[in-house]
């Protein structure tokens, strides 16, 4: 009788040991795979953000004559979008473990300027559209800056062609 109890105890101890070994192995695999998965997810978000900025640029370029208005739905999953009316730029910033491009060198993809800056833990990826020579961007009639951060719901950005400023550049009024 005692021999059967010892045998059952040994089976349970072996089961617990094998289970612990399996958990340790799964933990090791996840510790190596998780950073790579995050890096791939960041690259996908950056690709989507480049497409979003190209879409915004296309919409802006199609504004035409004064009085035209467009509504652009924008979803920001990660990072932040800055509408800079003072410098007439639209800038998307995101911290990422990924080196999206060569650090310190600007790369131009269509109208989007891509810059990667190496930091200690994360890299700062900046995607920007520069309209300083083409449009005077205002936010609700003022040269201000608006920051849109990541959110579960989409933003609806309104663009209105308000005519021309004293230098002849079209005034593009943006409101969120």
Give the pLDDT score at 92: 92
Q: Per residue in 144-161, is it b (16+ CB within 10 Å) or e — as a string?
A: eeeebeeeeeeeebebbb
Q: Is 17 exposed, middle or buried, given 0-12, 13-18 or 19+ CB atoms closer than 10 A?
A: exposed
Give the pLDDT score at 1: 47
pLDDT along the chain (176 residues), means of 10: 61 86 89 84 88 88 84 89 89 86 85 87 89 86 86 88 84 86
Give the pLDDT score at 21: 92
CA 108 from chain centre, in angstroms, equals 17
- In this prediction the pTM is 0.78
Tens of pLDDT, residue by residue over 115-129, are 988 887 888 999 999
Give the list of residues 6+ apart from residue 90 with CB closer than 8 angstroms, or none.
53, 56, 81, 82, 83, 84, 128, 129, 131, 137
Q: Kindly list the domain boundaries of the chain, sorted by start residue.
A: 2-175
């Amino acid at each position: 009788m005692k021999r059967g109890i010892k045998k059952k105890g040994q089976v349970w101890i072996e089961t617990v040991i094998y289970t612990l070994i399996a958990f340790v192995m799964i933990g090791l695999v996840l510790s190596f795979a998780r950073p790579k998965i995050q890096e791939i997810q960041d690259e996908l978000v950056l690709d989507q953000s480049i497409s979003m900025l190209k879409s915004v640029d296309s919409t802006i370029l199609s504004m035409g004559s004064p009085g035209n208005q467009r509504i652009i739905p924008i979803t920001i999953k990660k990072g932040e979008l800055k509408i800079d009316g003072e410098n007439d730029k639209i800038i998307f910033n995101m911290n990422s473990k990924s080196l999206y491009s060569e650090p310190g060198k600007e790369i131009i993809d269509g109208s989007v300027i891509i810059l990667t800056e190496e930091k200690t833990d994360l890299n700062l990826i900046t995607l920007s559209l520069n309209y300083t020579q083409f449009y005077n961007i205002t936010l609700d009639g003022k040269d201000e800056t608006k920051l849109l951060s990541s959110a579960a719901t989409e933003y609806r950005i309104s663009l209105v062609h308000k005519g021309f400023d004293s230098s002849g550049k079209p005034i593009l009024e943006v409101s969120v």
